[in-house]
């Protein structure tokens, strides 16, 4: 196609980097496609859409050299304190009107079996990039929002790590964070990074913090917002799952459910006074451990406050739609970048 000489000022204006044959828009398209499907499918899609060939190996290297900044929430100028509570103890009225400012992206694609992420060492042959790009990590600006973080939830997911040939694969945990209606992020072996990122955001007081019964989740919450009050809520649906494990009389379970819905923990446990069983003991221990997180769910729901961790569970599923493609295995060193890439897609970065 020939060469087009441009000045340094023009290159800065159009965000064209030196020694690179990539156009900014083509890079954005590649990042968008590979965030939502395998590198192999992204290679096929980009050729179908643009007529240019960008190999899967080149697309993988593009992802690995990008610097994905975490979502930053700008502090609002208005007061972040909540209104005075109408009910004693833990009952607060929080603002219920929320403006959605971030797209969470579509659900993961339908995937054929036996897709593999290829090693980065594989030589790529690309019509538009015949040699390795001579550029360091490019800083990708993620969207910013002005709202105060009123609610958040944390949950864990699994990613499969590549192991030496002949050894079984290894599944390892990562943590996902959802700042309800504001943005998502995921961290692999970096709990300190998760806590630091959340604490950089303008947090409401009180901050509604929702999680299941896993100790690791609440240990992370304990380090978030040290100077504010955290209104911790045990996920209602997780609580009900544990109640169903008790079994026994359906009428008794219905009564206990109704009492827990109103936050009446002592009355709910009293329903089991006439029944001694290991399952009852387990449920008693579970409820006692989290009783300060068992609130008046009916009141909170009526006030528009979340009572379940469904938002972050949805985030984990959407992240998994990329990192758990059929047959996909990842090098441990590449996992953080892959998670940031996927979360950038879910935050709508490549759609703007």
One digit per residue, pLDDT tens: the chain, 352 residues? 567 777 877 777 776 777 666 777 787 788 887 777 778 777 888 777 777 788 878 878 888 777 776 666 554 333 334 343 433 334 434 333 333 333 334 344 433 333 334 333 333 333 333 333 333 344 444 335 568 999 999 999 999 999 998 899 899 999 999 999 899 999 999 999 999 999 988 999 999 999 998 999 999 999 999 888 999 999 999 999 999 999 999 999 999 999 999 999 999 999 999 999 999 999 999 999 999 999 999 999 999 999 999 899 999 999 999 899 888 899 999 999 999 999 989 988 887 6
- Residue 239 and residue 154: Cα distance in Å, rounded? 16
Structure tokens at 327: 């047959």
pTM, rounded to two decimals? 0.68
CA distance 209 to 293: 10
Q: What is the 3-state secondary structure (H, E, C) of 175-234?
A: EEEEECCCEEEEECCCHHHHHHHHHCCCEEEEEEEEECCCHHHHHHHCCCCCCCCEEEEE
Beta bridge partners of 170: 161
Strand, coil or helix: what is 264?
coil
The HSE-up count of residue 143 (CA atoms within 13 Å, CB side) is 21
**What span, in angstroms and rounded, lies between the C-alpha atoms of 329 and 115?**
10
pLDDT recorded at residue 218: 96
Q: Answer for the pair 321, 109: CB distance below 8 angstroms, yes or no.
A: yes
pLDDT at 142: 38
- Residue indicated by tokens 């036996």: 114
- Cis amide leading into 268 (omega within 30): no
Residues 143 and 102: beta-carbon distance below 8 Å: yes
Pairing of strands 144-145, 170-179: unpaired
For residue 78 the two structure tokens come to: 């208005």
Is-contact 296 91, C-beta < 8 A? Answer: yes
Task: Say if strands 72-73 and 149-161 run parallel, antiparallel, or are unpaired.
Answer: unpaired
Cβ–Cβ < 8 Å for 325, 40:
no
Which residues have CB under 8 Å from 224's CB, separation 6+?
152, 195, 198, 199, 203, 207, 209, 230
**pLDDT given for residue 71 in this prediction:** 65
Residue with the two structure tokens 């936050």:
263
Longest dimension (CA), the chain: 86
Angle 39-50/56-65 helices, nearest 10 degrees? 110
């Amino acid at each position: 196609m020939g060469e087009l000489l441009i000045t340094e000022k023009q290159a800065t204006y159009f965000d064209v980097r030196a020694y690179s044959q990539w156009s900014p828009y083509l890079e954005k398209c590649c990042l968008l496609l590979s965030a939502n499907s395998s590198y192999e499918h992204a290679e096929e899609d980009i050729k179908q859409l643009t007529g240019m060939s960008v190999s899967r190996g080149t697309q993988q290297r593009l992802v690995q050299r990008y610097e994905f900044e975490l979502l930053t929430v700008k502090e609002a100028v208005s007061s972040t304190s909540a209104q005075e509570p109408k009910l004693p103890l833990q009952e607060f009225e929080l603002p219920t009107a929320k403006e959605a400012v971030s797209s969470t992206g579509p659900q993961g694609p339908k995937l054929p079996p036996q897709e593999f992420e290829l090693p980065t060492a594989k030589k790529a042959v690309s019509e538009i990039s015949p040699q390795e790009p001579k550029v360091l990590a490019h800083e990708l600006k993620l969207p910013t929002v002005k709202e105060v973080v009123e609610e958040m939830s944390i949950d864990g997911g699994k990613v499969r790590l590549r192991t030496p040939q002949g050894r079984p694969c290894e599944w390892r945990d990562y943590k996902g964070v959802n700042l309800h209606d504001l943005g998502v992020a995921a961290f692999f072996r970096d709990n300190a990074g998760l806590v630091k990122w959340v604490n950089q955001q303008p947090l409401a007081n009180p901050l509604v913090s929702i999680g299941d019964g896993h100790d690791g989740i609440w240990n992370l919450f304990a380090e978030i917002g040290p100077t504010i009050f955290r209104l911790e809520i045990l996920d209602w649906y997780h609580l009900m799952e544990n109640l169903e494990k008790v079994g026994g009389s359906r009428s008794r379970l219905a009564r206990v459910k109704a009492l827990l819905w109103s936050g009446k923990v002592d009355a709910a446990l009293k329903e089991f006074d006439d029944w001694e069983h290991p399952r009852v003991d387990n449920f008693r221990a579970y409820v006692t451990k989290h009783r300060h997180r068992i609130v008046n769910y009916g009141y909170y729901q009526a006030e528009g406050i979340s009572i379940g961790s469904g938002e972050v569970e949805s985030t984990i599923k959407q992240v998994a739609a990329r990192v758990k493609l059929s047959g996909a295995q990842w090098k441990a060193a590449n996992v953080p970048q892959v998670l940031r890439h996927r979360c950038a897609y879910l935050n709508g970065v490549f759609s703007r």
